[in-house]
Each structure stands twice: as structure tokens, then as C-alpha cells.
Amino acid sequence: MSTAQQSRITNEILNGNLVAIMFKLSIPGIIGMLLVGLNSFLDALFAGQLIGQNAFAGISLALPLTSIVTGCAVSVGVGSASVMSRAIGSEDINIESKILGNLTVISVIISFFIAAIGYIFGDELIRFMGGDGEVATYGVGYLKTYILGSIFFIPASSLLISLSKSEAPKIRLDNCFFFYICND
């Protein structure tokens, strides 16, 4: 992002119509969170309808663990957005220019860490939560697949969340639709 674009964004946030800015930045975020919920709903719908009750129970068992992945993505994205907002407010272009790189590195490290832990200990985690038999088998399969996808999900979601503080919430929303459509 060029210095002129950063100045325009800073001016809009600091001097623009507060209600218009609120809607501009919040509506894409609300729709994005609805898409996150829709993702889990569609997984459960397809498993319950196409595979059976045990698959649905396995996904239900793994769902709290998949929420940890979403929580990590949201944490990194919101943290970066907070730093971005403060940098815009203080007109610190130096910090603004470093946020994307830091976000990428942190989200990739977290995603690989979670993927490794989840994949290595997936069986134990599902069994610890009470899964056994065929339900545990489906739960472990779903969890390991979801966890491997978190390598891409965490950096992508973190980036999309942090973009809400930039000039491009519509780009963020378009990418959310693309990402969640491809995921399901």
C-alpha cells in the first residue's frame, strides 16, 4: 500500500462519518462470521445426510477442537487489526508497513504448530473427549482433515480479518466467499 493510500485511509477513519465507516467495516465482518458458521453447518449436514449418524456424531465430537483453530485465526487477525488501527491513529507508517509481514509469519507458525499437535494427538484428543468405536474413527478423520486444512485456514482468515481495518472490506468479503466456497 502506498503512502498516499495510507494517508487517504487514515483521513477517512479519523475525519469521516462515523456511522458510515462503522457499516463499511462491520457488515463484511458479520457476513464473514456467518460464513464460518455456515462452514460447520454444511460439514454436519453432508456427513449426517450422506454418511450417517455416526459420522454426524464424530463431527459433533470434533467441533470443539476445530473451534480452537478458528479462535487462533481470529486472535491473530484481530490483534493485527488492533495494531493497524493504532498505527493509523498515530500516523505511524513504519508500523503500518510491517503489520502484513508480522501477521503472515505469526499465523504460519501458529498454523503449523496447531496442525502438528492436532495431527499427532488427534486420536488421543477425540478419545479424551469421550469418543470410541466408529464415532471416534469418524471424529478423528474429520479432525485430522480439518487440522491439515488449518495450515491454510489460519493465515487466510487472519489476513481477511485484518483487512477489515484497511481500505478494502469488500475485497475481504469477496475472499471470504471464495475461501468458504472452496472449503465446502
The DSSP-derived string for 20-81 is HHHHHHHHHHHHHHHHHHHHHHHHHHHIIIII-HHHHHHHHHHHHHHHHHHHHHHHHHHHHH
Q: Evaluate whether 56 touches 48 at the Cβ level (below 8 Å).
A: yes
Cα Dmax for the chain: 60
| CA dist., res. 77 & res. 49, Å (int) | 34
For residue 3, the model assigns a pLDDT of: 67
| CA dist., res. 108 & res. 151, Å (int) | 7
For residue 174, the model assigns a pLDDT of: 54
Q: Evaluate whether 56 touches 139 at the Cβ level (below 8 Å).
A: no
pTM for this structure?
0.72
Query: CA 101 → CA 38, 65, 69, 80, 96, distances in Å?
Result: 30, 28, 21, 10, 10
What is the grid cell recorded at 62? 470434533
Q: Map out the domains of the chain as residue ranges.
A: 3-183
Instruction: Please write the tens of the pLDDT for every residue from 131-176.
Output: 889 999 999 999 999 899 888 888 888 887 777 655 555 555 555 5
Instruction: Please write the tens of the pLDDT for every residue from 94-137.
Output: 887 788 888 889 999 999 999 999 999 999 999 998 888 999 99
Instruction: Please write the tens of the pLDDT for every residue from 40-91.
Output: 788 888 888 888 899 899 988 898 898 888 888 888 888 888 888 788 778 7
